[in-house]
Amino acid sequence: MNSYLLQQGRSKELELFPHIIEFGSKKIQTIQFNSFPVEKTAWLRAYYVLDGRYDWIIDGMSRILYPGDLALILPEQSFGGARELLDIGAFFWIALDMNRSYLSTLESRSIQKILLLNDSPVIAGFKEGGHILQLIGRELSGQEIGFQTRINHLTDTLLILIARQLTKQNNSQRDFPRTFMKLEQELRDNLSHQWTVEEMAALVGLGTTAFTEKVKSFTGFSPISYLINIRISEAIKLLKRTDINLTDVALDTGFYSSQHFSTTFKKLTGYTPSQFRKNNTDNL
């Protein structure tokens, strides 16, 4: 395997693939000092180690990588070698513009969310990912019939596999309560977002059917009912504590209109939001 580097705008191999910013392969036979400074990246980068042991600084933290490991660097994160050097070994990498994938909007949004929530940038023993990178390299150099479609598929597949692996790694199926707690926090942090069951399930790494069943048996509610619970609870706090108008309360807590908010609120509590606010600020 030889070292090479393809770059968008410079290498004609990438002309057909605007979403691939960089693709490279490196084999290092003597330690290269000052060749790998820590720098901020603008793209999503994935490095797969084939050989050697690397001490890299990712987003300010030192991470050790062994053959079979994949390092994931998100846009705006810093990345480089500890002591700015590259040890003996070999690795592949790709830099992607995530906004130009061929995934559906919903899936792409879920995947980006999973990547952003991830706090351990090393996927250990990720042979599948390495294999895909290898195939992408081969297709780029071979340019056989169908390579354009194939490469687009492969880059999407890589993103999907990474997202799936991260949810597995970050959400212990052994401890659903803990996983559910993390989801609860995420829902509360982004309550105004129009969550779908698919998105919630994707975050914890389950299919929608299994997810719905687990949530139902753990909480007694369907995922959407549980979400409505949180929305109403937060709305109650806003109604009691502040004088922001009802439309803003509705939108802040994820209802798509004040009408929708009012109907749901009244159905559950028996009060309209404005009656409720009046009751809790006047008397007592």
Partner 1 sequence: MNQQHSDCILTIDMGTGAVRIFAFDLNGAVIGSMKGSYPTFHREPDYSEQDPEQVFITVLYVLKNLLNERIHPGGHKVIAICFSGAMHSVLPVDKKGIPLGNAITWSDNRGKREAQALKGTASGKAIYDATGTPIHPMSPLIKISWMKHHDKERFDHTARFLSLKSYIIQQLTGEHIIDYSLASATGLFNIHTFTWEQAALDHAGIGAGKLPDLVPVFYSKPRLRREYQTSLGLAPDTKIIAGASDGALATLGAGVWGEGKATITIEQSGAVRVVGNKVLKDQQQRFFNYVLTENYYVSGGPTNNGGVIFEWFAKEFGAFRKAFDLDDSMDQLILEASRIPAGSDGMLFLPYLLGERAPIWNANARGVYFGLNMQHSRQHFIRATIEGILYEIYSIGKTLEEHRAIHTLSINGSFTAYPFWAQMISDIFDKPVQVKDNSDSIGLGAFLLTATEMGIYKSLEEAARVVDIPTMYRPDKNDHEVYMRYYKVFERLSSKLLEDFEEIAGLQG
Which residues are near partner 1 by CB under 8 A? 172-176, 180-181, 184, 218-221, 225, 229-230, 232-234, 236-237, 240-241, 266-271, 275, 280-281, 284
**Which CB, 9 or 220, lies closer to partner 1?**
220
Least distance from C-beta 43 to partner 1, angstroms? 35
Tally Cβ neighbours within 10 Å of residue 231: 23
Least distance from C-beta 95 to partner 1, angstroms? 34
The Cα-based distances of 190 to 22, 35, 216 in angstroms read 33, 41, 22
**Based on the number of CB atoms within 10 Å of its own CB, is 261 exposed (0-12), middle (13-18) or buried (19 or more)?**
buried
Measured CA to CA, the distance from residue 212 to residue 196 in angstroms comes to 12
**Which CB, 66 or 176, lies closer to partner 1?**
176
Least distance from C-beta 111 to partner 1, angstroms? 23
Measured CA to CA, the distance from residue 32 to residue 46 in angstroms comes to 21
DSSP β-bridge partners for residue 28: 89
**Which CB, 60 or 220, lies closer to partner 1?**
220
**Which CB, 133 or 238, lies closer to partner 1?**
238
Rounded to 5 degrees, what are φ and ψ at 9? 90, -20
DSSP characters for 84-111? G-B-SEEEEEEEE-GGG-SS-HHHHHHH
Sheet holding 20-28, edge to edge: 4-7, 20-28, 89-96, 44-52, 70-73, 122-123
**Which CB, 25 or 167, lies closer to partner 1?**
167
**Which CB, 4 or 176, lies closer to partner 1?**
176
Least distance from C-beta 271 to partner 1, angstroms? 5
Q: Which amino acid is at 158?
A: L
CB 69 within 8 A of CB 49: yes
Measured CA to CA, the distance from residue 244 to residue 139 in angstroms comes to 57
Least distance from C-beta 262 to partner 1, angstroms? 14
Least distance from C-beta 222 to partner 1, angstroms? 11
**Which CB, 99 or 275, lies closer to partner 1?**
275
CB 49 within 8 A of CB 67: yes
Least distance from C-beta 171 to partner 1, angstroms? 11
**Which CB, 44 or 235, lies closer to partner 1?**
235
CB 231 within 8 A of CB 251: no
Least distance from C-beta 259 to partner 1, angstroms? 18
